[in-house]
Amino acid sequence: MADSAEAERVLVITAHPDDVDFGAAGTVATWVDQGLEVTYCIVTDGDAGGFDPAVPRSEIAGIRRAEQTAAAKTLGVTQLEFLGYPDGRLTPTIELRRDISRVIRQVRPDRVVCQSPERNYGRIFASHPDHLAAGEAALCAVYPDSRNPFAHPELAAEGLEAHTVPEVWMMGAPNFDVYVDITEHFDAKLEALLCHVSQHTQPENLEPMIRGWTSATAAAGGLPEGRLAEGFMRIRT
């Protein structure tokens, strides 16, 4: 289990709206209850998502931003940054590294939560190309970009000083080494996920699916039977 006492500010960086809620909503709720300040950085607006062809594609981005904002609010998170990159076409460009570095320098987090840049063949759906790209760009922004005062000189020109992030917690990694017991916050995780109405064709199936995942994660982490958990790979940076 993980001790969160060493962190005061956390920045969660994900590719799409709803990624944080699938991967870390229970943990976020736990941290907020402990008094940590949590900010989200959502790289794309998820404008390639949804399932209803009657909804104009031009409206999807706004819908998904609103859903993510509502989901964050259920967990007590009110600070969100949307970078507005196109969904489904994300690559870890120098521009994306710069934009994530900007948010890191603004928020100045003690911990970054991001997605894994490594494809997980056991859970291929977790390895969406956008997830891999967002994870790679986030790690590059953590090291070396955001801590190097000479990287992205335009950020220094904006008055944003270099910032070193002490650690990264990676979601969707092939191997977890830290587990957060979210049993008491499972309902909050589910509530956040259900805010993403445009993404769920069968919302009644969400609860058993998520309960199964978090139960298996808890067992892998050695938690007692009946507990639920989210897992991460912790990287000291």
Domain boundaries, the chain: 9-236
Phi and psi dihedrals of 90, rounded to 5? -75, 135
Domain 9-236 falls in which CATH fold? Rossmann fold (3.40.50)
Whole-number Å distance between alpha carbons of 199 and 196: 6
Would you say residue 121 has pLDDT above 90?
A: no
What is the tens place of the pLDDT at every residue in 31-47? 999 999 999 999 999 98
3-state secondary structure of 208: helix
Pairing mode, if any, of strands 111-115 and 167-171?
A: parallel
Instruction: Decide if 175 contacts 116 (C-beta within 8 A).
Output: no
Whole-number Å distance between alpha carbons of 107 and 79: 10
Q: How confident is the model at residue 127 (pLDDT cuts 50, 70, 90)?
A: confident
What is the tens place of the pLDDT at every residue in 155-208? 999 999 999 999 999 999 888 999 999 999 999 999 999 999 999 999 999 999
Q: How confident is the model at residue 4 (pLDDT cuts 50, 70, 90)?
A: low
Buried-exposed string 87-107: b where 16+ CB fall within 10 A, e elsewhere = beebebeeebbbbbbbbbbbb
Pairing mode, if any, of strands 37-44 and 9-14?
A: parallel
Q: How confident is the model at residue 1 (pLDDT cuts 50, 70, 90)?
A: low
